[in-house]
Structure 1
Amino acid sequence: MRIVFMGYQTWGVVALRALATSGHTLPLVVTHPASDHPYEKIWADSVSALAKAHRIPVIEGRRADEPAIERAIREARADLILCSDWRTLVPERVLRLARLGGINIHDGLLPRYAGFAPINWAIANGESEVGLTAHVMTHLFDLGDIVVQRRIPVAPLDTATGVAQRVFDLLPEVTLESVARRADPDFSPVPQDPILSSFFHKRTARESRVDWSRTPKQIFDLIRAQSDPYPNAWTTHAGRRLYLKRVSYPSRAYCGTPGRLHSREPAGVVVVCGQQPGQINQGLVLEEVQPADGEPTPAHRWFRRLGEYLGDADNINYDAGEQ
């Protein structure tokens, strides 16, 4: 089969490598140019470099309907367009340039977690599974019929980094299976229910800021969703941005006002969070932190005083009248 591949970063590299060693013909690879966006500097293996290593013609651009890209796809006379981590909508007129249209491989369990950063959003929301979904491409973003889908369990302590690695392990299999199924005239993809779809936007620093009024589990999930090399969850302390590298649950229930540095435990410093209905504990243990302009530091060394507050309360003086 003649396949035009469109992809970016490590997600694209893993899928392209599977195609390039599978016996399919690849007349063209399309990729995005390098970016300084924080999430596009992670897993930043080069699709362009891999295409050149396999002597496949490659072209770069942001959108599939750029004149040079659209012309190159037309001239490729492809049976199929296959995308992995292509970041912009491919118009229907471009999809029609391939005999079988297009397939996109999305690292979310569609119809839920369509859009951007699905692994990070899912873990931040405390989900117990994520997925990898190959679907037919249409004019509706991530809503085409499902060709292949795999479910991946997420344990309570799993990080986004570890889950991403497991998704990479499945990506070659899903890539090749989706091509084989699309080529089979007897195969019928499964329609998605748009009512069940949830479409997420790109994550920014705002989504990674800790709200200490949330429960310990919600904050714990956010921190593991933003594990290295992702931009870490953060708060402020004494007017400085402070990244939260590692946390754990405390040995006993700590309660009080969210954001307060409460007590010391052997592993670190306890900060009070919001209270979940039906539970007593409001605390998390901060084990390792990192100032924006510094190195990772054990929390018990960074926080010299207890009774201070993290977050928006930094600029408020609570000393007067404290008991």
Structure 2
Amino acid sequence: MTTQNPRAVVFAYHSVGVRCIKTLLARGVQIDLVVSHEDNPTETIWFESVADLCREHGISRITPENPASPELFEQIKALAPDFIFSFYYRHMLPTNILALAKRGAYNLHGSLLPKYRGRVPVNWAVLHGETETGATLHEMAAKPDAGGIIAQTAVPILPDDTAFEVFGKLTVAAEQILWFALPSLIDGSAKLLANDLSKGSYFGGRKAEDGRINWSLPAQQVYNLHRAVAPPYPGAFTEVDGNIYVIGKARLLASTTSNNTANLPQGLSVVDNAIFGGCGDGRALHIIELLMNGKVVTASSLQQQLAAQ
């Protein structure tokens, strides 16, 4: 099989999309079209821009609302790509589009498949207290994240890592996987590993409301929720007298703490001019940064609010 000038259509968004497009270009892949998303004005845009990258490199970019549209199918069919890649694109691609890739259609997913198939895998992994996750390059199929695996790279999730920090590690892992896998994809020698769905898990998307804190849960679970949705995600939040407080930064206190923070009441408290969140198992979070309407809440102002209840 020829190894010269492979041509691709790329579905891409987010920092992973940017880094992987750069990797394709560095490996000599000709990108005829990028299919992406328009930025959502209600979403905090903390990641790199695929749109900016396409403008920089003169790559044609479109943002159809529905990737299953007949118009998009015909446009890709006319391009007759060797490969189709999906890098953090937010929609499933229909099988008729996948079939247009003469040499395969591949996706980079932010987990160690078959674990955490589906939406927002990084956030789910942190929420469940995993100590590692990773990125997987795999063949696309009718089911989400179900095709054969080309390569995987694991990254650690440290005890205090937020989902944002883990995502940064996965962006690097995605670039590494693609860089090392592309030569075998291009020359046709790549081997597929089994993706046994019976040994994995599937999760759907998350809403901002899912960040509401249940203080009766053990402190580790509350801390995992905070880490999973900490800014720039919407954040773990609690409500006091109609006021919404979001945890910006926090640390889980050791199980053995000084008397002044042991067995605090469930919910927010102020002790010695510091903010804590008491949990159902008697342990607490030290809340380093508490936010209301995007502004930092001081311990003294919170204490006044709590006293007024």
Give TM-score scaled by structure 2 length: 0.89
Q: Secondary structure at the match of 1:303?
A: helix
CA distance in 2, matches of 1:22, 1:134: 16
Read off the aligned partner of 1:139 and give its amino acid letter: A
Change (3 A) 1:68 1:33: farther
Q: Secondary structure at the match of 1:220?
A: helix
Matched pairs, number: 299
Read off the aligned partner of 2:31 and give its amino acid letter: L
Runs of 4+ in 1 over 4 A off after TM superposition: 305-308
Read off the aligned partner of 1:269 and give its amino acid letter: I
Alignment-derived partner of residue 302 in structure 2: 302
Read off the aligned partner of 1:212 and give its amino acid letter: W
Matches within 5 A, 1:1-323: 1-36=6-41, 38=43, 41-250=44-253, 251-252=257-258, 254-255=262-263, 257-259=265-267, 261=269, 264-265=271-272, 268-275=274-281, 281-291=282-292, 293-304=293-304
Change (3 A) 1:43 1:75: farther
CA distance in 2, matches of 1:169, 1:245: 25
CA distance in 2, matches of 1:120, 1:76: 36
Q: CA RMSD in A?
A: 2.2
Structure 2 gap segments, 5+ residues each: 1-5
Change (3 A) 1:167 1:265: farther
Kept in 2, the 8 Å contact 1:265–1:285? The answer is no
**Deviation at 1:303?**
2.4
Change (3 A) 1:260 1:35: closer
Structure 1 gap segments, 5+ residues each: 276-280, 309-313, 315-323
Kept in 2, the 8 Å contact 1:258–1:273? The answer is yes
CA distance in 2, matches of 1:18, 1:43: 21
Alignment-derived partner of residue 3 in structure 2: none
Kept in 2, the 8 Å contact 1:92–1:139? The answer is yes
Give TM-score scaled by structure 1 length: 0.85
**Deviation at 1:215?**
0.7
Read off the aligned partner of 1:81 and give its amino acid letter: I
**Deviation at 1:256?**
5.8
CA distance in 2, matches of 1:25, 1:54: 11
Q: Secondary structure at the match of 2:266?
A: coil
**Deviation at 1:6?**
0.8
